[in-house]
A and B are shown apart, each in its own frame.
Chain A
Amino acid sequence: MAFEVPKTAYSGQIKEIKLGQGDKAVTVGGESSYPFYLFEGEMPHLPRIAMEVYDCPPEEWPEAALEPFAGVTDDPVAWAKKCLSDYGAEMICLQLLSTDPNGLDRGADEAAEVVKKVADAIDVPLIVWGTANHDKDTEVLRKVAELCQDKSLILGPVEEADHKKIGAAAIGYQHTVVASTPIDINLAKQLTILLGNLGVPDELIVMDPTVSGIGYGIEYCYSVMERMRMAALTQQDDKLQFPIICNIAKETWKTKEAKISEAEDPRMGDVKKRGILLEAMSAMAMLLAGGDVLIMRHPEAIKLVREMIAELTKA
């Protein structure tokens, strides 16, 4: 029997979305096949990695996660600059942890001022991520949108319950919206439709399926993302033809499996390497399922993932 390479019948492609502005703007999306299936399609833009910065010093991080950022965790501007200069970050994601009503509950004005300082200090695209508390995110992200109106930020998470107000601010001040849904393909589609109805242009939308790491339900977001890509690329579902963003690092580093010491359980091996691998391998799964932007933390995990992207797309 003669052998022919079997090829999938694709009928659509992912939209190309520009993030940020200026020289360091980044374009993602444009895929015309399943992730890395370059024998039957194209990836005109490679997946990108955004490095996390927190707007307040993190608590209870394992030592391995703190080590690369020693000395800067109390200053988001210094932290962001270190990501750029020391770790070659191509995007930054500022996590507005301080605004959590169950935590520091910092006010919108104060939080937005910090965002502006960081935005002014860097030239790469800036993702700004709230706490998924609808009332607080509405207040904070709208303030951020206004204060940084000329910065082409990427604002998230925008969920169905708060999409109108934050969406309106995004339209008004020209920021990208992260359409965030709870691991549900139908809700994902619904939210991009609602945003479209509101008047958010396609060029300002990316999707967040809500991710979790190995051991904590990664298979759910993995499959939702595969289904999204299947619908977008082979079932002409243009409401799902948007790039996907994965806020993965914070999920992997908070688990006990990232923290158990080798002394406590020798079978678990070296705690630093384990944390790095939990992050890198979870990110790898996201890439294989269709992630276009990965929000990551540890420079060594990032390096591993960047190498994989390069190898997977080498001519």
Chain B
Amino acid sequence: MPLTGIEIFKLLPKTNCGECGVPTCLAFAMKLASGKAELSACPHVTEEAKANLEEASAPPILPVTIGAGAAAPRVGGETVMFRHEKRFENPPALAILISDTMAEAEVKARLDKCRQLQYERVGLTLKPDLVALKADSGDARKFEALVNQAKGSGCPLILMSDHPDILAAGLKACADQKPLLYAATEGNIDRVAGLAKENSCPVAVKASGPEGLARLTEKLTAAGIRNIVLDSGARTVRQALEDQVIIRSAALNKKFRPLGFPTITFPAEMTDDPMKEAVIASMFIAKYAGIIVLSDFRGESLFPLLVERMNIFTDPQRPLATTEGIYEINNPTENSPVLITSNFSLTYFIVSGEIENSKVPSWLLVKDTEGLSVMTSWAAGKFSADIIAPFVKKCGIMDKVKHQKLVIPGYLAAESGGLEEELPGWEILVGPREGAHIPAYLKTWQS
């Protein structure tokens, strides 16, 4: 919860020395409150005041970066319980579990999947994020060997062991990558906290239930450790869901700082059935998980999870837009129909999907309508004849087809007259209003 100007003023020296470039401490405090100044501009603020200010203006759920470098995902940082209240900020990171009891070939195959199982969708790359290395063998050297094999994979790591010694051995091999240390528990918190602090790594905390977690995180924050991830210990579906809800609600609605951290969840440890595991993971994507650890990555489950994640974490105020251009569907030729639609991604998916279903080879022109749907953009004057015509002339479709027929969306029927004027020589055909009627329409189209 951000501090007000007055609350900040109380923490400043109140000398009005002017060295920050602002004549009075109160004015400086106001600037700080509105984000127009940096605290570092004041040379006389006390360490205590600095810490208080940072603490009070920290987000209710801390954003935590797992790993180092460009591929390191950021989780947490959430501010709402429901995406429609604003948006969800940081999509959950998906991790693949690799055990140090697995054969080297199996390990390699899994690491390869992290790179290969990537998908393009409306100009975005959907891909998994993390590799979770588990010290099942109980042998520090085996674990270290696994870490060495995995650390070049390009995916940030989670190191998993109950034994601080084994954790330390694994960490030695990859400390510069700032892996997530899993996990600090009641029994080992001092040692694991030490490892995290020395190496500036994020650390997971495991307890049984939110209350236990709060006790442990308070110890960690007292020791100056802030990059924390929470495992409530729940491994049944009901308990896991309830814990996710309770933790987020405590952090957001009650400003309960000890639970103001992202969570880590383990569908991998909740079932042996990969199909059920995927459905459990899909629950966690919608309901508040920061990291989701899977027993494996398989295309048939990873793809739906990645798309669901993209959907839930889309900003409701800024729906996805598709790039303007000519889209070829079903291998069109110079005699194939030409259709035009808006660049609202949902429109694009539906229209292109229906064209595909029709099996009729077609050219789909997607016009940039600022991400608005056909009806909305038309109502806003952003999809009118004088906007469509220049696009049709310039986009290059005339080099690709022999005919000059343009199918416009049914809801743009009112533009057909204007378009005939703006595109002399072109025949303007009014297509269906509903995407679902496109296949029937296309089957009757003649060049």
Q: How distant is the Cα of A120 from the Cα of B163 in the complex, in angstroms?
A: 65
B179-217 with Cβ < 8 A to chain A: 210-211, 214
A284 at interface, CB cutoff 8 A:
yes
Question: What chain A residues lie within 8 Å of B118 (beta carbons)?
Answer: 267
Measured CB to CB, the nearest residue on chain A to B302 is: A269
Contact between chains at A6 and B258 (CB < 8 Å) = no
Contact between chains at B300 and A3 (CB < 8 Å) = no
Q: How distant is the Cα of A222 from the Cα of B314 in the complex, in angstroms?
A: 12
Q: How distant is the Cα of A218 from the Cα of B257 in the complex, in angstroms?
A: 33
Question: What chain A residues lie within 8 Å of B301 (beta carbons)?
Answer: 269, 273-274, 277
Contact between chains at B287 and A277 (CB < 8 Å) = no
Contact between chains at A314 and B236 (CB < 8 Å) = yes
On whether A266 and B299 interact (CB within 8 A), knowing A215-B311, A226-B84, A276-B275, the answer reads yes
Q: How distant is the Cα of A262 from the Cα of B312 in the complex, in angstroms?
A: 26
Question: What chain B residues lie within 8 Å of A313 (beta carbons)?
Answer: 238
Contact between chains at A254 and B357 (CB < 8 Å) = yes
A-B contact count (CB 8 A): 161
Q: Which of A35-43, A48-56, A86-94, A187-195 contacts B (4 or more CB under 8 A)?
A: A35-43
Q: How many A residues have CB within 8 A of the partner chain?
A: 55
Q: How distant is the Cα of A285 from the Cα of B280 in the complex, in angstroms?
A: 11
Contact between chains at B279 and A304 (CB < 8 Å) = yes
Question: What chain B residues lie within 8 Å of A198 (beta carbons)?
Answer: none
Contact between chains at B214 and A216 (CB < 8 Å) = no
A280 at interface, CB cutoff 8 A:
yes
Contact between chains at B286 and A1 (CB < 8 Å) = no
Measured CB to CB, the nearest residue on chain B to A288 is: B286
A213-237 with Cβ < 8 A to chain B: 214-220, 222-223, 226-227, 230
A268 at interface, CB cutoff 8 A:
yes
Chain B contact patch, size range: 35 or more
Question: What chain B residues lie within 8 Å of A8 (beta carbons)?
Answer: 249
Measured CB to CB, the nearest residue on chain A to B432 is: A102
B283 at interface, CB cutoff 8 A:
yes
Which listed residue, B253, B303, B304, B312, touches A219 by the CB 8 Å rule? B312
Question: What chain A residues lie within 8 Å of B298 (beta carbons)?
Answer: 269-270, 273
B414 at interface, CB cutoff 8 A:
no
Q: How distant is the Cα of A39 from the Cα of B209 in the complex, in angstroms?
A: 13
Question: What chain A residues lie within 8 Å of B238 (beta carbons)?
Answer: 36, 38, 311-314
Q: How distant is the Cα of A217 from the Cα of B347 in the complex, in angstroms?
A: 10
On whether A281 and B303 interact (CB within 8 A), knowing A39-B242, A219-B316, the answer reads no
Q: How distant is the Cα of A6 from the Cα of B282 in the complex, in angstroms?
A: 24
Contact between chains at B275 and A267 (CB < 8 Å) = no
B1 at interface, CB cutoff 8 A:
no
Q: Spell out A's residues near B (CB within 8 Å).
A: 1, 3-6, 8, 36-39, 60, 102-103, 214-220, 222-223, 226-227, 230, 254-257, 262, 266-271, 273-274, 276-278, 280-281, 284-285, 288, 300, 304-305, 307-308, 311-314
Top 5 closest pairs, chain A to chain B, by CB: A269-B299, A269-B300, A311-B237, A274-B300, A281-B282
Extra pairs beyond A38-B242, A216-B353 (6, CB < 8 Å): A3-B210, A5-B210, A36-B238, A269-B300, A270-B299, A273-B300
Q: Spell out B's residues near A (CB within 8 Å).
A: 82-84, 116-119, 121, 210-211, 214, 218, 236-238, 241-242, 245-246, 249-250, 253-254, 256-259, 275-276, 278-280, 282-283, 286-287, 298-305, 307-308, 311-312, 314, 316, 346, 349-350, 353, 356-357, 436-437, 440
